[in-house]
Amino acid sequence: MKTKTKPRLSDASLEVLKRRYLLKDDNGKIIEKPEGLFKRVATHVAQAEKKYSKGPGAKKTSDQFYEMISSLDFLPNSPTLMNAGRELGQLSACFVLPVGDNMGDIFGTIKNTALIHQSGGGTGFSFSRLREKGARVKSTSGVASGPISFMTAFNAATETVKQGGTRRGANMGMLRIDHPDIMDFITCKEDNGAFNNFNISVAITEKFMKAVEKDKDYDLISPLTGKKTGSLNAREVFDIIVKQAWKNGEPGIVFIDRMNKDNPTPKIGEIESTNPCGEQPLLPYESCNLGSINLSNFVEDGEVDWRRLKETTRWAVRFLDDVIDMNKYPIDEISEMTRANRKIGLGVMGFADMLVQLEIPYNTDEAVSAAEEVMKFIQEEGRKMSEELAKERGIFPNWKDSIYGDSKQRVRNATVTTIAPTGSISMIADASSGVEPLFAVSFIKNVMDKDELVMTNPIFLSIAKRMGFYSEELMKKIAKSGTLEGIDEVPDEVKRVFVVAHDVSPLWHLKIQAAIQKYTDNAVSKTVNFGHSATKKDVAEVYKLAYDLGCKGVTIYRDGSREEQVLNIGKVNKKGVQEEKIDPTKRVVRQRARVTYGRTIQIMTGCGKLYVTVNEDEEGRPFELFSAMGKAGGCAASQAEAISRMVSTSLRSGIEPKIIIKHLKSIACHRPFGFGPDRITSCSDAIARALESFISPPTLGIVRDQSIVKEQEQLEIKIEEVSTQTVKPEIKRESYIGGICRECGGPIEYEGGCMVCRSCGYSECG
């Protein structure tokens, strides 16, 4: 299956660049071409060469950087692409901040978090230093509220800050398994709408895992006193972690002792947390800049071009080391710690594409061997280059306090390799993400006019045309499921190689992760995908296997789990609302008149603008309700329409609006909007609020006859009187995997602990 060379920049790549990376003027007009972006980044980063008397010099280095980036052989993390050569100048993606056990430290960290998010970075925190809920506070003679309550403050702060005008902040929240509040932490995201700006992971110790194996209790330790406060059965706690992860993918787990075993600077500090996707363990105040080699570009005639891969690895290490010098860090403590350890994180993307070109199925031992071979090569060559840079520029300042200090190995960088989720940059490169399997062979993309465009893997497209089985109808057929299973028109030899994420069993996901981890200094961001029918036992087995295989953490996602909502209805009369006993044989649904009158309410939701029309009967009572999304469309629109139809049927059947409101209000989804009393938790909640505003005076969240105020400062709602002849808009529907993109309304995919949109390039994690 010989393949042709891929085009350098596809239409999809250009679309991502236009939306996210190319410079724009004050009116939003694009004033930069892709070549200009690549030149801007290469020139700016290469200026670091002027700081050193040895080396190739800034001009040659800039030319090499430009060639490497413009050919899509290597791309740095998103903040570098966005900010290099610009006033902001913040080039790192990953940060970890300490959270001390006093108000000054806590809110100082919140301030620093806001600065980092504004500059384009993501943050990780361990809340394990915070005293447990109920512990005594000497200064006030009161009791502590515990780490979960302070996580709420961090989450709210993140909600208000947009990163450099391009993307929202992402956080990792971590708590040790032996913290007294661990059970509250494990279940804090049971409601999909809670802590929407956090990924959470439990920091699991070796002692805990041994207790799980032996079904024994383990101790809970107060961070305030260092003394035992109680004990829990390890296997029962483990089962609850599994249950929550099975339910909605969180919490993830990290093996914190294993991370500290590989801590390159143990005398400088202990690793407490990671960046938002879990692949970069960092000390407090450390940052790390990441970049990825596009492995799909290094296969020629069915063989890996090792010579060219070596050269790219060497230049990529130089690039990332130069970034440390050219970076404008958001706070001084980060600048000092980052420059002292000089950690870099060189990773890969296009691994699955490489396997396809080598005709190796992802779910085979041959793929595991290929993973080990390529990652071992990159790590070894990367370290050799770091040693050369140490001779050229000097060792990293904390070298004597590192694991290298007692050896003869003098290196420039405390760490060299990391496997990150490549989100947006893999879309620019037209490559598979990180070390994940193919997302889909073909999928449907929504374009701005709500038309649908079939996107097909370029390698598969080339093969299909060359082998003569290509047709537009076939690509559309494949796009319905994304997989080649059951597609008779595709030859078996092609089907064997083009396996996608949901064709791969969890075992093979983990085997690939473990193979890559074996030759990675830091950690591996990887999602183990489960089908919807997977059991909790399946998840538990993966967690145990991840531990046994030497992984540093694991994230799982069960297909469809993020969309399930458990509706817990409170007791009748809890808020004084009487439930009606409905006799379906006596209930009559009133017919509507040809013309009805009402009000249209515009409400901002996490999925975009929702327009809700409430029409009244001849007596002025709510009679029917219609809704339409703004540009988002897709599943969000179809769900809103379905809810509206049921509300209309209920109203015309004589059910009291208050009862309908009660059942819809405060239902949460993964895309809430706003905060405080104005927070809209879902489209269901928005519809309930609209109906509520019709029957009673406006609440804090409903503002009549006022102009729309700034997003995040106050909920965006405007009510206007209209005469409505109910004509429902045509809205196209789509299938989805992980929810709805907040920017384009397309389907989003759960990948490496992060949500990404293949339609527009939006990524929560860069």
**Within this chain, do residues 102 and 81 fall inside the same structural domain, yes or no?**
no
Write out the H or E segment, with its range, that includes residue 74: strand 74-76
What would the two tokens of residue 220 be?
């809970």
The mean pLDDT value for 304-324 works out to: 98
The mean pLDDT value for 11-32 works out to: 92
The mean pLDDT value for 194-209 works out to: 94
**Within this chain, do residues 294 and 379 fall inside the same structural domain, yes or no?**
yes
Where does a domain end: 563, 584, 608?
563
Tell how strand 273-274 and strand 281-282 pair up.
Answer: antiparallel
Rg (CA), the chain: 27
For residue 80, pLDDT over 70 is answered with yes
In the chain, % of residues over pLDDT 90: 62
For residue 744, pLDDT over 90 is answered with no
**More confident: 579 or 741:** 741
Measured at the CA of 237, the angle between CA 235 and CA 239, to 5 degrees, comes to 70
In this structure, is residue 369 part of a structural domain?
yes
- How many whole angstroms separate alpha carbon 115 and alpha carbon 329? 10
- What band does 582 get if pLDDT is binned at 50, 70 and 90? very low
Alpha-carbon distances, residue 234 vs 184, 210, 237, 381, 517 (angstroms): 15, 9, 5, 42, 26
**Within this chain, do residues 127 and 83 fall inside the same structural domain, yes or no?**
no
How would DSSP label each residue in 196-248?
Answer: TTEEEEEEE-HHHHHHHHHT-EEEEE-TTT-SEEEEEEHHHHHHHHHHHHHHH
Residue 705: helix, strand or coil by DSSP?
Answer: coil
What would the two tokens of residue 231 be?
């004990």
- How many whole angstroms separate alpha carbon 298 and alpha carbon 309? 7
pLDDT of residue 231: 98
Tell how strand 94-97 and strand 122-126 pair up.
Answer: parallel
The single-letter DSSP state of residue 268 is T
The single-letter DSSP state of residue 414 is S
How would DSSP label each residue in 656-668?
Answer: -HHHHHHHHTT--
- How many whole angstroms separate alpha carbon 212 and alpha carbon 459? 45
Q: Please give the tally of structural domains in the chain.
A: 4
pLDDT of residue 740: 62
Closest CA to 504 of 355, 358, 376: 355
pLDDT of residue 633: 56
For residue 65, pLDDT over 70 is answered with yes
Query: Is the torsion defined by CA of 347, 350, 355, 361 positive or negative?
Result: positive
Q: Could you identify the residue written with the tokens 């009161």?
A: 142
pLDDT of residue 347: 98
In this structure, is residue 174 part of a structural domain?
yes
For residue 358, pLDDT over 50 is answered with yes
Lowest mean per-residue pLDDT among 195-199, 366-370, 698-702: 698-702
What would the two tokens of residue 336 be?
């000092």
- Helices and strands (H, E) in the chain, number of each type: 23, 28
What would the two tokens of residue 11 be?
């239409």
Q: What is the dihedral of CA 688, 693, 697, 702, to 10 degrees?
A: 90
**What are the φ/ψ torsions at residue 555 (nearest 5 degrees)?**
-120, 135
pLDDT of residue 742: 63
**Within this chain, do residues 526 and 629 fall inside the same structural domain, yes or no?**
no
- How many whole angstroms separate alpha carbon 513 and alpha carbon 252? 15
Condensed to tens digits (0 to 9), the pLDDT of residues 463-515 reads 999 999 999 999 999 998 899 999 999 999 999 999 999 899 999 999 999 99
Q: Could you tell me how many residues make up the chain?
A: 766
For residue 324, pLDDT over 90 is answered with yes
Residue 444: helix, strand or coil by DSSP?
Answer: strand
**715: phi > 0 → left, psi -120 to 50 → alpha, else beta; which?**
beta
77 catalytic? Reply is no
**More confident: 642 or 34:** 34
**Within this chain, do residues 261 and 157 fall inside the same structural domain, yes or no?**
yes
279 catalytic? Reply is yes
Burial class (CB in 10 A: 0-12, 13-18, 19+), 311: middle
Q: Are 487 and 477 in contact (CB under 8 A)?
A: yes
**Within this chain, do residues 312 and 261 fall inside the same structural domain, yes or no?**
no
Alpha-carbon distances, residue 117 vs 80, 159, 283, 401, 760 (angstroms): 14, 10, 18, 31, 21
Q: Could you identify the residue written with the tokens 């079904």?
A: 215
For residue 761, pLDDT over 80 is answered with no
Q: What single letter denotes the amino acid at residue 400?
A: K
Burial class (CB in 10 A: 0-12, 13-18, 19+), 333: middle
- How many whole angstroms separate alpha carbon 482 and alpha carbon 165? 33
**Within this chain, do residues 236 and 298 fall inside the same structural domain, yes or no?**
no
What would the two tokens of residue 559 be?
């297909």
pLDDT of residue 721: 31
- CATH number, domain at 103? 3.20.70.20
Q: Which residues have C-beta within 8 Å of that of residue 9, sequence separation ≥ 6?
A: 17, 34, 72, 428
pLDDT of residue 168: 62
In this structure, is residue 280 part of a structural domain?
no
Where does a domain end: 724, 740, 756?
724
pLDDT of residue 348: 98
- How many whole angstroms separate alpha carbon 318 and alpha carbon 174? 32
In this structure, is residue 746 part of a structural domain?
no
Average pLDDT score, the chain: 85
Where does a domain end: 223, 245, 274?
274
**Within this chain, do residues 386 and 462 fall inside the same structural domain, yes or no?**
no
- How many whole angstroms separate alpha carbon 537 and alpha carbon 558? 13
Give the count of beta carbons closer than 10 Å to the beta carbon of residue 9: 17
**More confident: 131 or 702:** 131
**Within this chain, do residues 367 and 218 fall inside the same structural domain, yes or no?**
no
Q: What single letter denotes the amino acid at residue 436?
A: E
In this structure, is residue 491 part of a structural domain?
yes
**Within this chain, do residues 302 and 327 fall inside the same structural domain, yes or no?**
yes
**Within this chain, do residues 66 and 109 fall inside the same structural domain, yes or no?**
no
In this structure, is residue 5 part of a structural domain?
no
Q: What single letter denotes the amino acid at residue 196?
A: N
pLDDT of residue 6: 46
Domain extent for 698:
596-724
pLDDT of residue 696: 66
For residue 666, pLDDT over 70 is answered with yes
Q: Choose, from 49, 94, 192, 277, the residue flagged as catalytic.
A: 277
pLDDT of residue 564: 39
pLDDT of residue 701: 33
- How many whole angstroms separate alpha carbon 528 and alpha carbon 617? 53
Q: What single letter denotes the amino acid at residue 359?
A: E
275 catalytic? Reply is yes
- What band does 575 get if pLDDT is binned at 50, 70 and 90? very low
In this structure, is residue 629 part of a structural domain?
yes
**Within this chain, do residues 269 and 150 fall inside the same structural domain, yes or no?**
yes
For residue 205, pLDDT over 60 is answered with yes
Q: Choose, from 49, 272, 279, 641, the residue flagged as catalytic.
A: 279
> 458-467 and 472-479 helices cross at what angle (nearest 10)?
140
Lowest mean per-residue pLDDT among 45-54, 184-193, 502-511, 633-642: 633-642
For residue 723, pLDDT over 70 is answered with no
Q: What single letter denotes the amino acid at residue 129?
A: R
- How many whole angstroms separate alpha carbon 748 and alpha carbon 249? 15
pLDDT of residue 73: 97
Q: Are 562 and 542 in contact (CB under 8 A)?
A: no
In this structure, is residue 22 part of a structural domain?
yes
Instruction: Show the beta-strand stretches assigned E in 417-564.
Output: 442-446, 452-456, 527-530, 553-558
pLDDT of residue 747: 65
pLDDT of residue 653: 81
